[in-house]
Structure 1
Amino acid sequence: MARMGAELRRQDFVEATIKVIAEHGVANATTRRIAAAAGCPLASLHYVFHTKNDLFYAVYESLFNLPHQALEHVPAGTTAADTTAEVLRQLITWFIDHPDAAKAQSELFFWALRNDPEMASKIYSVAIEATEQALERAVGAELGEKFLKAASRLLVQLVDGLTIAWSAHGDLHRLRAETETACAALALLVASH
């Protein structure tokens, strides 16, 4: 049997953790269950991730890097307002295509908020920064730095709110309609800038 590199194992564990958290919640995401879902020995998990918090942070890091990779090629709208709305639409579309990721992200953030507030703060800061970079790539210098930061925070809050609501109601049609309402509101805000 060929040996697998630590980076590939790491990704296997991250993907397995997302699946386990989505199915069983963070409280029941034991390292044994995660290792089994990854099809790997428990010792390998502990070799790659020294603590469960390290694993959870890697999962969260993955959960905001993956959707933002989808934003690297957001089609530019005719205005900064249109483009900003499209960034929001693309993020929600990514989560629609990856429902386990949407559930795991919410579960993991609330777990961190209760159990490791410093980690939760770091997660939020990194998410804001990644969103700001994606938005800046999409609209260039059309928005001033201060407004770019505010719009990025609002984008994160809209994505979080929409995905949490979707977890509660489970209605994809409703999520799409609410996303379009949020996109329209965001576009109006950016256009008024």
Structure 2
Amino acid sequence: MARRPNPTLRAKRKENLMDSIIKIITEESIAEATTRHISEMSNLTIASLHYYFGSKDGALVATGEGILEDWISEILKKKTITAEEKIRRLFTPPKYMVAFSQIITYPYRQKEVSRKARIVDMNYTNTIKEFLKIHEIGLDNLENNAELIKTFLIGLSFKILVNPDILDSELENLKNFFNKKEELPDIKGFK
């Protein structure tokens, strides 16, 4: 009978695998996050990845869940800093948001993994709703504004890969949007 590693070792190995996934996604792309590449970078076997996460896609979703819980939620739920400062912190360094955005927009093939990815996405939306409530932003249409901010942050994650200096201008655009939102005319087909 095989012995299971102690809980501390298990946690360390899982963290090592997830750190490798983040590094591969941010330095290369999610397409390069193959089972073999992840295991080589983490100095663990492919069997370890399957043991801890079930599959590569399971490891990706678990990494996204970890980023949401340990990075995004921690920043967005703080009550002592401004909304703008929170968004800046999400992208300092940008690797977590870049990896997270690619993970939640990745097309998963396995039903169970896809379901878990949708749950992470829903939790992300709920975290953004809490952020908007804390700062009393866009409460008139919370659901749509949460989706808008979510799309903005995902898009910014992809843009920052190409142009790391874009954060200031994009934050200014977001502020202008919310300041002028009430003045926007009705456009046929958009409500």
Q: Scaled by the length of structure 1, what TM-score is found?
A: 0.72
Q: What is the CA distance between 1:188 and its match in structure 2?
A: 4.4
Q: Which residue of 2 aligns with 1:83?
A: none
Task: Determine the structure 2 residue equivalent to 1:135.
Answer: 132
Give SS of 1:27's match.
helix
Question: Relative to structure 1, is the Cα distance of residues 18 and 151 closer, same or farther in structure 2, using a 3 angstrom cutoff?
Answer: same
Unpaired runs of at least 5, structure 1: 77-85
1:157 aligns to what?
151
Who is 2:16 aligned against?
Answer: 12
Percent identity between the two aligned chains: 19
Match of 1:71 in 2: 76
8 Å contact from structure 1 (residues 21, 104) kept in 2: yes
Which entry has the higher C-alpha Rg, 1 or 2? 2
8 A Cα contact 2:132 2:146, kept in partner: yes
CA distance in structure 2 between the aligned counterparts of 1:176 and 1:156, rounded to whole angstroms: 18
The 5-angstrom pairing of residues 1-150 of structure 1 reads 4-65=8-69, 66-75=71-80, 86-87=82-83, 89-95=85-91, 97-112=92-107, 115=109, 118-119=114-115, 121-136=118-133, 138-139=134-135, 147-150=141-144
Report how many aligned residue pairs link the two structures.
175
The alignment partner of 1:75 has SS state of coil
RMSD: 3.2
CA distance in 2, matches of 1:30, 1:132: 34
Q: Contact 1:89–1:179 at 8 Å: present in 2 too? A: no
Instruction: For 1:93, give the aligned amino acid.
Output: R
For residues 190 and 48 of structure 1, the distance between their equivalents in structure 2, rounded to whole angstroms, comes to: 49
Mapped partners of 1:37, 1:90: distance in 2: 31
